[in-house]
Amino acid sequence: MKITSSAKQEKIRLNRNNIRTVSAALRAVLLFLILLSIILALAPQRDFESYPKKEAAVISCVTVTTNGKTKDMQLPCTIRTKKSRTRVTVTFQVPKRAEARDMLYVKTVYCPLTVSLNGRILAQLGDLNYYPSFMHDPATEVRFVALPNDADERTVTLTYLSPEGRDYVTLHAPIIGKVGPVTSVLRQDRQFPFALALLQIFIGVIVMIVTASALRREPDIRAVFWLGLFSLCAGIWELGENNLTLLLFDKPALLYILDFMGLECLLIPFIRFLRCILDLTRARLIVLLDCLAVAAPIVSLTLQLAGTVPLYQSIRFFHIFTPLVFLYILFHSLREYRRKRDSNSLHIVFSLLILFTSATLEAMNYYLRLLWQNALFFEVGMTIFILYSGYLSVRYFYLTNRQKKRMETDMRMMTIEAREQKKHSLLIMENERKTRALRHDMRQSLIAIKSLAEQNNTDELNRYIDSIIDCIPSAIRTYCDNPMINAIVSYYASACEQQGIRFETHLSISADDTLTQIRDVDLCAVFGNLLENALEACERMEDGSRFVTLNSICHLNTLTIVMDNSYDGKAERSGELFRSSKRDNADVGIGLSSIRGIARIYGGDARFDTDGTVFRSSVYMYLQ
């Protein structure tokens, strides 16, 4: 049995809805696991002692002992170990220029560390008794250790125990000196990445707050929201990788969770951002990659909470998966650029190329140690991507919004033009109807006139002829040379005359003055709205003299329109305009807003004031 195309479309729609439901559920599970791990990391965490925060010495030449083998080495370096909890001992002499109350700065990465001086234990880092039970290796820790000055020769011994999830120990160079100079040494390498991380977090939070409130009204702005979330995740990861963060915020377990979750969750907002701004319908794997981007952090965090695989071990998957996703989307972006050949696609390809290159370099740096400073390549690349993509997004929404407003204005002007033309047509049709009626009765009228003439009944004949003249509709009066304006003014002049409203006007507008300078639709909108508001204001008056006075002139390349009309004295101002009396919600009148908007298009403006029971309108526009 063949399946109809509508049935296929319905099946595709249901599959997409199911995928969205599963993706939303996975995101909810991920958020729950992150919150749970944060709570578990905070609960058993001890408050490490804060050490008092002047020339610092970086200890790079040390003696390293592993498995009974001793050799001199240069720090930083990595030491391979055959099994977990292998003892790695680093020994060095305290420089003779060290003073009393000097501090020793040490760092350990996923290894318990004991700091000793002449055999006496000074400090222990990475004590698992102070970590959650699901962590079998400690997080990265840094510490200032006070060095006693009670011996001439001071030998410092750093004893590391290799981690369970790695076959090597990373040794970082310790620093000796007062806290201030030591911190200055650290800032030389870490201050710039630290500032970039704070910048990304700031951008992410601000963008998410600003766009979250507008998501319901402007669904298209969700792309900017996802970009803000991407920036926030990147900033959190980079902040967790920075030694300065560990000095300022002594919560290693919490930073450990946030660090890896920031990196592992990067692809979720990244893919969704690109799905909002790119046509990825040809990228058949994008939905699968989107689901994997959500599922992978859930699996990684679940394995960590179960104590099976630590986060620093499962991160290897993301070192491969993340660049591959970047490469896949970059490939399809190149295809879109070759198909469309537009500047927007080229900009996106350029930004994705920067991100893919930085991610690849960062993954290589992690294993090959091109630099001992982690995350620098990717951090710089992501910052460029975020700023560049933010600029492109703002530029896109600005141009789109401007085009949308222009289209709305054109539609409104077309509506106004059609309305004014309809009024003009109604006036002409009414005159035509009366003329046809007179033509129909002409024969009977001529017979009556002939009869009265034969009877020499002059008085009755004159009265009859006067009645016929009164019934003949007058031609549309010429108020100015512009036919559109003339038709509008004639229509409202006739309406005022029928309702007993005194109408006076003087228009010095020729076709040469305005026809090629200001569009007829704009002129019709201004004059039509002014006269319509004036007529309605006079109709609402229960007593008093009702009048409309309209004057306009073109002089010194400026069209000036001044109108006074009577009204009932009840007008509620809203800013520089007045609230409409025709609307229940009392919004500002559309007519007044339209008049001001058109005037400002031509470099002019409009002003509306009241004086007792007189409403005054003034409009000017430059003849461009």
How, if at all, do strands 57-58 and 61-66 pair? Answer: unpaired
For residues 35 and 272, give the distance between their C-alpha atoms in angstroms, rounded to a whole number: 22
For residues 224 and 273, give the distance between their C-alpha atoms in angstroms, rounded to a whole number: 7
Domain boundaries, the chain: 57-177, 191-401, 476-624
Q: What is 57-177's CATH number, 4.10.93.10, 2.60.120.260, 3.30.420.40, 3.90.1530.30? A: 2.60.120.260
Peptide bond before residue 219 is cis, with ω within 30 degrees of 0: no
Collapse the DSSP code of 362 into the 3-class scheme (helix H, G, I; strand E, B; otherwise coil) and give the result.
helix
Lowest mean pLDDT among 488-497, 541-550, 582-591: 582-591
For residues 196 and 193, give the distance between their C-alpha atoms in angstroms, rounded to a whole number: 5
Collapse the DSSP code of 142 into the 3-class scheme (helix H, G, I; strand E, B; otherwise coil) and give the result.
strand
For 402, the token pair is 């401007």
Give the pLDDT mean for 360-384: 78
Q: Does domain 476-624 match CATH 3.60.110.10?
A: no
Are 26 and 245 in contact by the 8 Å Cβ rule? The answer is no
pLDDT tens digits, 19-51? 666 666 666 666 666 666 665 555 444 333 333
* The pLDDT of residue 403 is above 80: no
For residues 526 and 549, give the distance between their C-alpha atoms in angstroms, rounded to a whole number: 15
Beta bridge partners of 117: 120, 156
Q: What is the pLDDT of residue 438?
A: 63
480: left (phi over 0), alpha (psi -120 to 50) or beta: beta
pTM, full prediction: 0.63
- Tokens 């993301």: give the residue: 318
How, if at all, do strands 168-171 and 614-622 pair? Answer: unpaired
**Domains 57-177 and 476-624 belong to one CATH topology:** no
Lowest mean pLDDT among 4-8, 30-34, 342-346, 514-518: 4-8
**By percentage, how much of the chain surpasses pLDDT 70?**
78
Helices (H), 281-310: 286-305
Q: What is the pLDDT of residue 576?
A: 60
pLDDT tens digits, 477-523? 778 887 778 878 888 888 898 899 999 999 987 766 555 678 777 88
Please indicate whether residue 411 or residue 293 has the higher confidence score (pLDDT): 293
CB atoms within 10 A of CB 405: 10
Q: What is the pLDDT of residue 70?
A: 93
Q: What is the pLDDT of residue 111?
A: 95
pLDDT tens digits, 116-150? 998 899 999 999 988 999 999 999 999 999 888 76
For residues 403 and 59, give the distance between their C-alpha atoms in angstroms, rounded to a whole number: 63
Beta bridge partners of 579: 588
